[in-house]
Homo-oligomer: A and B are copies of this chain.
Amino acid sequence: MTNLADLERYLTSQGYKLTRNRRIILQGLLNKAGWSNAREIHAYVLAHNNKVNFSTIYRNLDALTSIGLLCRVERPDAVNYYTLNHASGHHHHLICKSCHKICELEFCPLSLIDPEALHNFTEVECKFDLYGFCRECQEKNK
């Protein structure tokens, strides 16, 4: 989905209300390529709306992530970053511990795991990310 109308349609189809904050958050993420954190998104909404609270930002980022519209990645410095899930499918990431570059991984381990290993758990969500040093940062530190 690469336009606001589709994103909004999907949001409401999932039972969420279409609020002014959510519209601006989605618009902001559409405008800006790459990843943003809650602070940046908060600033964007402030600049394009009247006034919004940080907790609203966090709650909306959670909601949008939970229905798959956003990808969330936790950086090694413990700050969460978000981006529109253009891939639209479920996927994971590879993050550089030095420059924080984020690469996509098509691979999802949950699809490969033996259901027997899941101890009869249901509604299983997969949290999976890899952290290493990208080629550029390896060069720099030589």
Contacts and interface: CB of A to CB of B under 8 A. Distances in A.
* Copies, count: 2
Interface string A107-121: 101101110011111
A47 interface: no
A63 interface: no
Nearest to A134: B121
A130 B125 CA distance: 6
Contacts of A133: 121-123
Contacts of A105: 113, 117
Bin chain A's interface residue count: 20 to 34
A106 interface: yes
A8 interface: no
A64 interface: no
A107 B106 contact: no
Interface in A85-142: 94, 96-97, 103, 105-107, 109-110, 112-114, 117-135, 138
A134 B112 CA distance: 20
A34 B120 CA distance: 21
Contacts of A118: 94, 130, 132
